[in-house]
Amino acid sequence: MSIALYTLILLAIAFFLWRNFLKNKEFAIDVAHNVAKKNDISLLDETVCLRKISFKFEDKRLCFYRVYSFDYNIMESFERYRAYIVLRNGILDDVIISKTESVSAHEDTNISNTNHEKNVINFDE
């Protein structure tokens, strides 16, 4: 087989994986909107974030688990809470709404202060 055929096969696989990820993310966004409407909570940022991908064998079959998270607040408060959506092979498996896991807006944007000697670019100058 030629290199062009291998490249074409690889591009086709990448396209189908990309399309599958987009389809699952849109499904998770729809689930988040439905959960917010059903539980009378306000969905913040109007989107979900992919937190984890895992593979498990169940009944001799490979299952793809995707965990998405979204932030919400209760109508009575201004605190930010996090909820999780678990998809198994593109089908809704579980929704976990945590009323105790408070989220800071700066929690996910912490920058490490460690000094890396092997960095090519010195950002301290």
Which among 102, 90, 83, 103 is positioned nearest to 34, based on CA atoms?
83
What backbone torsions phi and psi does residue 25 show, to the nearest 5 degrees? -65, -40
Q: What is the pLDDT of residues 85-116, one digit of tens each?
A: 999 998 999 999 887 777 765 555 444 555 55
Q: What is the pLDDT of residues 20-74, one digit of tens each?
A: 999 999 999 999 999 999 988 888 888 899 999 998 998 889 998 999 999 998 8
Spatial distance between the Cα atoms of 88 and 3, rounded to a whole number of angstroms: 35
Helix intervals (H) in the chain: 3-38
Give me the residue spans of the domains in the chain: 3-105
Write down the pLDDT at residue 4: 93
Write down the pLDDT at residue 113: 57
pTM over 0.85: no
